[in-house]
Amino acid sequence: MTGESFRRLFQRAIAAAPDRLHLAAHSHHLWPDASWLGQQAAWDDAARLADRKWDRVMGEIWPGAQRHVAAELGLPDPATVVFAPNTHDLIVRLVSAHPGKRPLRVLASDGEFHSFRRQAARWVEASEIVLETVPVAGNDFTGRFVERARTGQWDLIFTSHVMFGSGGVFEGVDELAALSGPDGPWVAIDGYHGFMAVETDLSAVADRVFYLAGGYKYAMAGEGCAFMHCPPGFGPRPAITGWYAAFDDLSLPPGTVGYATDARRFMGATFDPSGLYRFVAVRDMLAQEGLTTARISAHVAALRDDLLARIAHTPLSQADVLNPPGHGAQARFLAFRSPHAAQWQARLLEQEVVTDVRGDVLRIGLGLYHDARDMARAGDVLARL
């Protein structure tokens, strides 16, 4: 499939910087042209409908986005999906809804993204949580994490599906789900690096697991459309709440703070809906093109193998590949550990080749907008490092 190219779907982004080779799809995925149409539609609706735009947003765009997420993840009911500007907002609301006594006992990996890592560190300082982390590095992270989770000490168990730093894939979601219940422990999966990159079917665990992700990466829709799948019966009344969650239960006495009974119970307040428009437009385009996650992953895998063959003849061949290709789910980026990682990233950027670095790890991410010509250019530039 390395001969196949989908650059035609990204003409605006490519034309905006024609000399750039963007190998950071895992960081900021380039936006396809369909997202431009979605952005325009958001503006046009605001101008045409003014105050009444929210009827369209909440009556058509929001449910359409819910259906797309549910279809991608195998969720039985799209109404379990709530959107927010970012996953941090959702994490804060999720923790506020937990019925356990404070400090909550939390188990996580030591490889979580900043949206969780920083907030968790501050919660520890404030005695809101007690945190234990399982090291990602080493053999059988999944087995070690599940073993700690089974000790029964936890109120919240939080881990990424795909680790943002190393590209390692957690394969124990079903095992964690078996531990979960409305009174605790709760299980939350950060799926940001897995959503639309790794085929994910939550149908068997949707009643017991929270799942968070968003549009910034492989959903190709940009910022502003993060989401959380919320299992029914878990956290009916988040303590941190906005007025958009105020779909009052009519059985409550007057003056009581009411909540929607579906995922809208986790909503905040007024938000910019343009991210949802972009997400729906991109997903509609992918459906029209017949581009499933499996098909895109196959395209990327072929390019990845081509690039790795070229890297064998470059200085990167001396780096430690943290997530070499193998069986099962694969991240959409390669992680190269080396003391030269930052130096390589800077040299590549001088030649308009965009990668990124996390500590001593250089990350090279591939997406739908790459083709064989890009891998040839990458190989030539990398050989000159």
Q: Are strands 104-109 and 353-354 parallel, antiparallel or unpaired?
A: unpaired
State pLDDT tens for residues 370-383: 999 999 999 999 99
Residue after which a domain boundary falls, among 258, 286, 314: 286
Q: Please check whether residues 129 and 251 belong to one and the same domain.
A: yes
Instruction: Provide the pLDDT for residue 26.
Output: 94
Q: Write the CB contacts of 216 (distance below 8 Å, at least 6 apart in sequence).
A: 28, 29, 192, 222, 223, 226
Q: Give domain status of residue 90, yes or no.
A: yes
Residue 12 is assigned to a structural domain of this protein: yes
**pLDDT at residue 275 in the model:** 98
- Asked, for residue 2, whether it belongs to a domain, the answer is no
Does residue 313 belong to any structural domain of this protein? yes
Last residue of a domain, one of 264, 286, 308: 286
Instruction: Clarify whether residues 22 and 162 are in a common domain.
Output: no
Structure tokens at 275: 């991210």
Full domain range(s) for residue 321: 7-30+292-383
Residue 155 lies in a domain: yes
Q: Which residues of the chain have pLDDT under 70?
A: 1-2, 248-251
User: What pLDDT shows up at residue 278?
Assistant: 98
90 and 185 both lie in a single domain? yes
The answer to whether residues 274 and 305 belong to one domain is: no
Looking at residue 261, what is its pLDDT?
Answer: 93
What's the pLDDT at 256?
83
For position 122, which CATH number holds? 3.40.640.10
**Statement to judge: residues 137 and 78 lie in one domain:** yes
Q: Does residue 144 sit in the same domain as residue 84? A: yes
262 and 323 share one domain: no
Do 117 and 183 have their domain in common?
Answer: yes
Name the domain boundary from 251, 286, 321.
286
Residue 1 lies in a domain: no
pTM over cut 0.85: yes
Place of tokens 């490092």: 385
Count up the domains in the chain and report the number.
Answer: 2
The predicted-structure confidence for 52-93, as pLDDT tens digits, reads as follows: 999 999 999 999 999 999 999 999 999 999 999 999 999 999
Is 273 inside any structural domain?
A: yes
Q: Same domain, yes or no, for 176 and 313?
A: no
| CATH number of the structural domain spanning residue 318 | 3.90.1150.10
Pair (261, 375) in one structural domain: no
Which tokens go with 343? 């130096």
Regarding whether 144 and 49 lie in a shared domain, the answer is: yes
209 and 308, same structural domain?
Answer: no
